[in-house]
Amino acid sequence: MKNVNKHFDPSNEVDCNKALRVLGALELAHQDAHCALHHESAWQLLVATILSAQCTDERVNQVTPALFDRFPGPLAMCQAPVQDVEELIRSTGFFRNKARHLLGCGCALAEKYQGQVPIRMNDLVQLPGVGRKTANVIRGVAFGRPAVVVDTHVKRIAQRLGWTRKNDPVGIERDLMRLLPRNRWTHTGHVMIFHGRRICRAPTPQCSICPVASYCPRYGVDRSR
């Protein structure tokens, strides 16, 4: 089917080259971009990412040391009293659902995967509370596999740059995978998240200080501000 977006065609070499220039400028501007969730294992990253839903990374990092000290692995989490887990993670919000997901993940890993976090996407998304975004965080950060993480920041910036016209995360993920080199997928997520937090904010981006303002078509941005 013909691509109706005259501004964006992932198969167009010129657009791909422009996207790489934009990405390079963003990488230069955010050289400290990284996964902000503190962790020492794939299990800890899985827990932290589940807790980060509707919560800041800073808050999660304040909560997880005590949680990991009390319940250091999947089996310990599986056997944990749910009320104790809820109390430890209460400040992250939606703590009852999150506690249920953490216990469910702990039991699933202990029973099906010998206490190890799986690498395959199909296995990860079967775990309680784990969608594609969380699975891609685990694959990219914990296991070093190329993975495109699409959170609210990545979605917003990709749309404003004209890199995608999709609204659903899976569609955006696929567009970015076609547009960008595989070996830069994971780091691109970190860079875009940092850029979204610092400059390209919702609802009002700071275009006057943006390092890629000259490249950006600013789709969806209120230009009257």
- Tokens at 209, concatenated: 């200080």
Q: What confidence score (pLDDT) does residue 102 get?
A: 98
On whether the CB atoms of residues 113 and 21 are closer than 8 A, the answer is no
Please determine whether the domains at 13-32+148-209 and 42-142 fall in the same fold group of CATH: no
Our CA dihedral for 95, 96, 98, 102, rounded to 10 degrees, sits at 120
192: Cβ contacts below 8 Å, ≥ 6 apart: 26, 153, 154, 157, 158
Q: 189-217 as b/e, with b when 16 or more CB fall inside 10 Å? A: bbbbbbbbeebbeeeebebeebbbeeebe
Which string of DSSP letters, residue by residue, matches 77-122?
Answer: HHTS-HHHHHHHHGGGSSHHHHHHHHHHHHHHHHHHSTT----SHH
84 is an active site residue = no
pLDDT at 225: 53
Residues 115, 102: Cα–Cα separation, whole Å: 13
Set 98, 151, 155, 175: catalytic member: 151
Q: For the chain, which residues make up each domain, given as ranges?
A: 13-32+148-209, 42-142
pLDDT tens-place string over residues 9-19: 544 543 889 99
| pLDDT at 4 (0 to 100) | 38
133 is catalytic: yes
Closest to 157 (Cα-Cα) out of 104, 213, 90, 208: 213
Tell me if 50 sits within 8 A of 98, measured CB to CB: yes
pLDDT value at residue 186: 98
Q: CB neighbours of 222 closer than 8 A, spacing ≥ 6?
A: 203, 204
pLDDT digits (tens, 9 = 90+) for 166-204: 999 999 999 999 999 999 999 999 999 999 999 999 999
Closest listed residue to residue 160, CA positions, set 4, 24, 19: 19
pTM of the model: 0.90
Q: At the top level of CATH, which class does the domain 13-32+148-209 belong to?
A: mainly alpha
Q: Which of 133, 155, 175, 222 does the annotation list as catalytic? A: 133
Residue by residue, pLDDT tens for the chain (225 residues) are 333 344 445 445 438 899 999 999 999 999 999 999 999 999 999 999 999 999 999 999 999 999 999 999 999 999 999 999 999 999 999 999 999 999 999 999 999 999 999 999 999 999 999 999 999 999 999 999 999 999 999 999 999 999 999 999 999 999 999 999 999 999 999 999 999 999 999 999 999 999 999 999 999 897 765
CATH topology of domain 42-142: Endonuclease III; domain 1 (1.10.340)
